[in-house]
Every structure is written in structure tokens, then in C-alpha cells.
Amino acid sequence: MAIKSRICEVFGIKYPIFLAGMGGAANPKLAAAVSNAGGLGVLGAAACTPSQMRRWIQETRDLTDKPFGVDTLLPMSVRGGGNLKQNDGKDPSNLVTEYQEMAKGFMNEHGLKMTESDRSPTAIESVGLFTKEFFEQQMEVVIEEKVPVYAAGLGNPSPWMERLKANNTRVMTVVGAVRHTVKVSSAGVDAIVAQGHDAGGHNSPIGTMALIPQVVDAANGIPILGAGGISDGRGIAAAMMLGAEGVWIGSAFLASEEAGIHDHQKQAILDSTEEGTVISRSITGKPARIIRSSWTDFWERSEHDPLPMPYQSAVAGAVLASADADNRQDINPGFAGQGIGMIKKVRPAEEIMAELVEGMERTLKDSQQLFSN
């Protein structure tokens, strides 16, 4: 059966399935593969330097002639330039060195050695990444390269809307609450992602099933993509029955051959169950769903709270880079959503897309039988 969706018309794609812009994992190979298979691949460029982002965009254009997108973060807590404080009122910038010493203690305890890493999404060794200036430089690249689609994984892209629209760039943003929906709907975005608590990475305190219809009702007719724990065609169908007109899927593509994560992280997904993730601020400083690890347990037991973004990344970077170099699944298994229990093997993205589409169409067709005589 053919699925009719405004999402397909607005973004020029065959199927209303978007690759979530997962930092580092959603690389040019994976984004292009999803776009070539009829969905919309989105580059997870949140931690890319401006020059690396430009290279990724060009690589993606070399691999596909289909529409694709770029995802970055625009967190108001950083972009606004406000004074970030810990719960005890201390300036977090003055605590980075102390926290890095704590991280070194963790590394010694777990047999990790300091190492250089070229994998920028995790090897964050200074707070120069994820600062106001960093985000603004990224946006300049997005605008200069005239990307087909821009997705704000966090925050409101309204300051850049006029320039993005002048490039005919389709703009979307990820929200986790109705109040966020109200704010971004007046900015002129083309679509809104309603990402619930089930999702991997930064997400919402509200469950996906409850969030999607409330965002649909508050969006003033803007098409909605459902996200969070959707790992097969049944989940896509469920999101659409709740009023979404498409989906934003991440974890299902982490176990793809093209995904830009380490083999030990792909294995961690295959080894995990629906109970294998936790919400932790231990990596970015913002609450995010991660596969449980020794690193998340360390912060759960600690008497210290993780530092806010961007400072916690400067603490976690060396630990995660060293863990990746040693293939330590127990320390850095990666971000993932609660749907990972349905992921059983590593496959090409094209095969994953085909299965998602077939499962979506079959489930929607079967649902019609509920109303037949």
C-alpha cells in the first residue's frame, strides 16, 4: 500500500522515515544510504568542527543526489550566554580541572590510559566545543552550503530562519514538551520532531505515546515526526496512528554497517535489552539515554553532580576516547533508545529501511481489518 504523507511532499522523499541526526553515528555513508533508500538521511554533525561539517556535507553530496539534512544543537543554556551554575552555586568553569582529576582516577581504576583520538564526537578535551561561538560557526556552514534540510536537535532555530529560508532549506526542530512546540511553531519550521522519553540521546521526561498526540494538537497544523523507541514498522504505524506524519529513527540504524560508531558499540546494542539503558548527564552534561556502563554507574554513585553542558564533555572526553581505543564496551557502549531489544544483527542500512517500510505498510494494512465486518 502507498503511504500518503505531507512529510514526503514537503521534503521530497518516498517514505516518511528520517534518520535521526545522531552525533558521529549518522555519518555521510549512513545518511546517504538512508536517502538513497527513499528516506531522509540526516548528518549527526553536533560535534563536528565547521571544517569537518563542510567535508561531511560534500561527502554526502558525492554519495547521493537525494535530499539530506544536517543536525546540530542550539541549546539555549549555552547559546544564550547565561551564567551556568552548579546546584551548589559554583561556577562550573572553575570545577573542570577538579572533575578531570576525578576522571583520571576512574581511568586508573579501570586500566585506561590517556590517548589521542580522531573521533571528535567523544574526544572532547576543551570547552571550545559546544560554546556559543561554536554553534554560531556551525550555522554559518549550514547556511553557506545551502543544505537541503536543517534539523535543530536541541533549541530554536528562529534567529537563522530568514537566511535558511532564503536558501530554500527545509527546517525542522526536535521538541520534548508542548511548551517547546508552541515556541517553535511560530518560527516557521517545516516539521517538528516529538521525541519522547524512550529515545536514545537527549530526550524528554514525557513518554513517546503521551507526547506525540499532545504535540500534534499544539503544532498549529505543522507536520509532526514521532520519535523515541521506534525500532520497527509497528512502531512507525503506531506513531502515525497517534497523529504523526512520519518518524525520526536512530537506534535501529546504529546497528547498520554504515553507522559511524565502533564495533564494540554495535555489539553492545545487540547484547542489550529494553532494560539496558539509563538516563545520565555523565557525557554531555544534559540528561541523555545511554546504555548503562561503568562510567554511568560512577556518576550515579558519586557525591558530585555532572557539570552542565559544555563542561561535562571536557571531563568525559578523555575517558571515552581511551575506552574506544581499547574496545571497552563496559565503559562506552554508547547512546541508544529503549527499542534496542528488537535489534538482533548488524545489516546494511538499505536492508533496515526495506524492513521498516514493509513492516509499516503491513501493520497499517492489518489495522484496517479491525474495522471490517
pLDDT value at residue 126: 46
Inform me whether the pLDDT recorded for 78 exceeds 80. no
Task: Average the pLDDT over each of 32-46, 209-223, 304-318 and give the range with the smallest value.
Answer: 304-318
pLDDT, tens digit, 9 for 90 and up, residues 15-25: 999 999 999 99
pLDDT value at residue 128: 57
Show the cell assigned to 118.
Answer: 580522531
pLDDT value at residue 118: 37
Inform me whether the pLDDT recorded for 129 exceeds 60. yes
Inform me whether the pLDDT recorded for 120 exceeds 50. no
3-state SS string for the chain = CCCCCHHHHHHCCCCCEEECCCCCCCCHHHHHHHHHCCCEEEEECCCCCHHHHHHHHHHHHHHCCCCEEEEEECCHHHHCCCCCCCCCCCCHHHCHHHHHHHHHHHHHHCCCCCCCCCCCCCCCCCCCCCCHHHHHHHHHHHHHCCCCEEEEEECCCHHHHHHHHHCCCEEEEEECCHHHHHHHHCCCCCEEEEECCCCCEECCCCCHHHHHHHHHHHCCCCCEEEECCCCCHHHHHHHHHCCCCEEEECHHHHCECCCCCCHHHHHHHHHCCCCCEEEECCCCCCCEEEECCHHHHHHHHCCCCCCCCCHHHHHHHHHHHHHHHCCCCCCCCCECCHHHHHCCCCECHHHHHHHHHHHHHHHHHHHHHHHCC
Per cent of the chain over pLDDT 90 is 83
Query: Is the model more confident about 115 or about 315?
Result: 315
Domains along the chain?
6-365 (3.20.20.70)
Inform me whether the pLDDT recorded for 1 exceeds 90. no
Inform me whether the pLDDT recorded for 304 exceeds 60. yes
Inform me whether the pLDDT recorded for 155 exceeds 50. yes
Please give the Cα distance from 295 to 337 (Å, whole number). 18
Please state, rounded to an integer, the average pLDDT across all residues of the chain: 92
pLDDT tier at 88, thresholds 50, 70, 90: low
Show the cell assigned to 57.
Answer: 556535507
Inform me whether the pLDDT recorded for 3 exceeds 80. no
pLDDT, tens digit, 9 for 90 and up, residues 238-261: 999 999 999 999 999 999 999 999
- Average pLDDT score over residue span 189-216: 97
pLDDT value at residue 364: 92
- Average pLDDT score over residue span 1-8: 81
pLDDT value at residue 166: 98
pLDDT value at residue 260: 97
- Average pLDDT score over residue span 101-117: 89
